[in-house]
Structure 1
Amino acid sequence: MTTDVHPESGLRKATLTDQDLVETSWDHCRIHALAVTDDEGPPDDPTLDYREDDDLDPTAPSALQLHLDLDYIVRRVDPGPMRQIHFWVAPSTLIFHNVWDIVGSLHSVCLPFELKDLRPEAPAQSGEPCWRLEGRDLDLRFQASGYTLHLRQPPRYGNRVLRMAERGGISFDPKPFA
């Protein structure tokens, strides 16, 4: 028996992974920010002579991560005809791990991005997983070992897009609320 971490919204867990893909819906999730980061960084020993390009090894797995700060729609509540649709929404951080070979397009910097779909595609020749992020003014394809979605706050009932003050601004914090 599993216990929901947020019974009102029906949310079962505050951290989801690519293993939960069948249970997740990405339609109309607002993307507030995205970033590509490298968590490897310089060596811990400050006495070493370090050059950024010394550490490139084309055979090593990628240390890049793709981060998205988004409003994840936990559940849509449709009250019936002629009534406003409400949602259970949580500010969330979606992180793709070991990312490489990113291609695609971002068509607008004026309108906010919204996800329509996130899905795996046929593996690359290397056999590594490929992913596709599709949305309004957004179409990205890349290879990544998987993803983790961290819901940073309990879901809120209301509109499908949270105000910046409600969500605590832009954040890529990987800590779930529960």
Structure 2
Amino acid sequence: MTTDVHGESGLRKATLTDQDLVEASWDYCRIHALAVTDDEGPPENSILDYREDDDLDPTAPSALELHLDLDYIVRRIDPGPMRQVHFWVAPATLIFHNVWDIVGSLRSICMPFELKGLRQEGRSRSSEPCWHLEGRDLDLMFQASSYTLYLRQPPRYGSRVLRMAERGGISFDPKPFA
């Protein structure tokens, strides 16, 4: 028996992974920020021999991660004709792990990005999943081993986009609220 972490919205869990792709909905999720990060490099005072970037094995796993700060729509409430649609929305961090071969376009810096879909496009020659992230003024394809979505706060009932004060500003924090 599965218990909901937020009964009113019907949210079952505060952390979703690529294993939950079928049940996850990405339509109209507002993206507030995105970043590509690398590991922090070798630890200080390390006795290990680190290579220069030119010496790295191109077949080794990538340390890059793609981070998105978004308003994740947990549930849409459609009351019927001529009535306003409401949503259960939570600020969330979406992280793709071991990312490489990022191609695509970001076509606007004037309008906010909104997701329309996230789907797995099959597997690459290295047997890693290929992902397609598409939205308004956004179309990215890349390879990544997996993703994790962390809902940072309980869902709020109202419009589909949270105000910055409600969501706690921009954040890539990978900690779920429950």
Corresponding residue of 2:98: 98
TM-score scaled by length of structure 2: 0.94
Correspondences of 1:1-178 after superposition (within 5 Å)? 1-45=1-45, 53=53, 56-178=56-178
1:123 deviates by 1.3
1:40 deviates by 4.4
Change (3 A) 1:88 1:44: same
Number of residue pairs matched by the alignment: 178
TM-score scaled by length of structure 1: 0.94
Distance of 1:41 and 1:69 partners within structure 2: 24
Q: CA RMSD in A?
A: 1.7
Distance of 2:147 and 2:93 partners within structure 1: 10
1:59 deviates by 2.6
Does the aligned pair in 2 maintain the 1:40–1:63 contact within 8 Å? no
- Of all paired residues, the percent bearing the same amino acid is 85
> 1:124-171: CA deviations, max 9, x gaps?
222221000000000000000010000000000000000000000000
For structure 1, the residue ranges without an aligned partner over 5 or more in a row are none
Distance of 1:90 and 1:67 partners within structure 2: 16
Change (3 A) 1:50 1:21: closer
